[in-house]
Amino acid sequence: MPQNQSPLAQLGWQPFFAEQVSAEDMVLTPPLRVIEVNRKGLHAVGEGIDLLVPAGPDATVGDWLLLDRAEPALSKVLARKSLFQRRAPGTEWKFQLIAANVDTAFIVSSCNPDFNVARLERYIALAFEAEVTPVIVLTKADLCDDPAPFVSAAAAISPRVSVVLLNALSGEPRDKLREWCQPGQTVVFLGSSGVGKSSLVNALFGEETESTAPIREDDAKGRHTTTRRQLHFLPGGCAVIDTPGMRELQLMDAEGGVADLFPDLSALVEQCHFRDCKHETEPGCAIRAALAAGALDEPRLARWEKLVAEERFNTESLAAQTSGNKSLRKAIRLAQKKNRK
């Protein structure tokens, strides 16, 4: 019952965080939750506290800080229950933190020509890596004559992921997403621009909390209406994070997430005769054998190979960059040039 929840519990405070803080710390350095990151710093809220912490802590939306009253920029970030991060857009290899301490990630896509299984798989691998429960939310059911093929394509991605079909502009989101939007929980909406993330947030709140805008008619792409990641609290005590549509989602340091998404292929690779098997012409290749036996879906195999290669390349490049290994860096630049060609 939300009425019985402590103010901190309403902000998403869970035993995982409480265990990190002594009773004394709770008084001297009260916990604050980051609800927005902007140029001026971190907007954070706690029990009877609402303040802007100047840039300093390496934190993202959803993080918990222990406030250093004398020097807020030195506030400590509590260990995270989960963390969403991707390779930051650009030419360097670094992480961009997306959201922390999330329990459920709603991976949003629409029943229209913008629907893309490979893209959904990326988000789900990221969620598995982050140790967050992913749920696929298919919007715009009302605009689609036959949503069934979208539902079955989404359901085929992983037996571990639920699929919800709805009209984001109706009362359906409240009912259909209720199971995950419980008091004390934190949920995030992720997906491309225009899929209806902010519309879903508004539907949960029953009022306009976030701005929304129509998509382009020619290609069903969105217009990047949401530009900031922001956390809002439902009156019942669930924390809801809206995010801007991502143009590109590159995996880095997410090998486990990819393996969780493709457990069958990860197991087969272990059976290939050569450890560095490329699954092309090598003898004793378990992947080729499974293909020949008709046990594998070829497009899915191709998506897996692409994701594995990208994840490995980014992870190795990140390691090379941080270790300052010159010859490896040169090899990476050459590989990049080749890729571009």
Ligand X SMILES: Nc1nc2c(ncn2[C@@H]2O[C@H](COP(=O)(O)OP(=O)(O)OP(=O)(O)O)[C@@H](O)[C@H]2O)c(=O)[nH]1
3-state secondary structure of 98: strand
- The residue among 249 and 277 lying less far from Zn ion, judged by its C-beta, is 277
Nearest approach in angstroms of CB 304 to Mg ion is 30
- Binding of Mg ion at residue 226 (CB under 5 A)? yes
CA triplet 205, 207, 213: central angle to 5 degrees? 110
- Binding of Mg ion at residue 198 (CB under 5 A)? yes
Contact yes or no for 105/132 (Cβ under 8 A): yes
- Residues ≥6 apart with Cβ < 8 Å to 156: none
Judged by beta carbon distances under 5 to 8 A according to partner kind, the member of ligand X, Zn ion, Mg ion, none in contact with residue 144 is: none
Judged by beta carbon distances under 5 to 8 A according to partner kind, the member of Mg ion, Zn ion, ligand X, none in contact with residue 214 is: ligand X
CA distance readout (Å), 150 to 115, 123, 128, 301: 8, 17, 22, 20
Nearest approach in angstroms of CB 310 to ligand X is 23
d(CA 287, CA 280): 9
Give the pairing type, strands 230-233 and 162-165: unpaired
- Binding of ligand X at residue 222 (CB under 6 A)? yes
- Binding of ligand X at residue 199 (CB under 6 A)? yes
Nearest approach in angstroms of CB 171 to ligand X is 12
Q: Is the dihedral of CA 14, 19, 25, 26 positive or negative?
A: positive
Among 167, 185, 250, 317, interactor with ligand X by CB under 6 A: 167
Judged by beta carbon distances under 5 to 8 A according to partner kind, the member of Zn ion, ligand X, Mg ion, none in contact with residue 287 is: Zn ion
Judged by beta carbon distances under 5 to 8 A according to partner kind, the member of Zn ion, ligand X, Mg ion, none in contact with residue 224 is: ligand X
Judged by beta carbon distances under 5 to 8 A according to partner kind, the member of Mg ion, ligand X, Zn ion, none in contact with residue 159 is: none
CA distance readout (Å), 36 to 45, 87, 146: 10, 20, 38
List residues near ligand X by CB under 6 A. 139-140, 142-143, 167-169, 193-199, 212-215, 222-226, 244-245
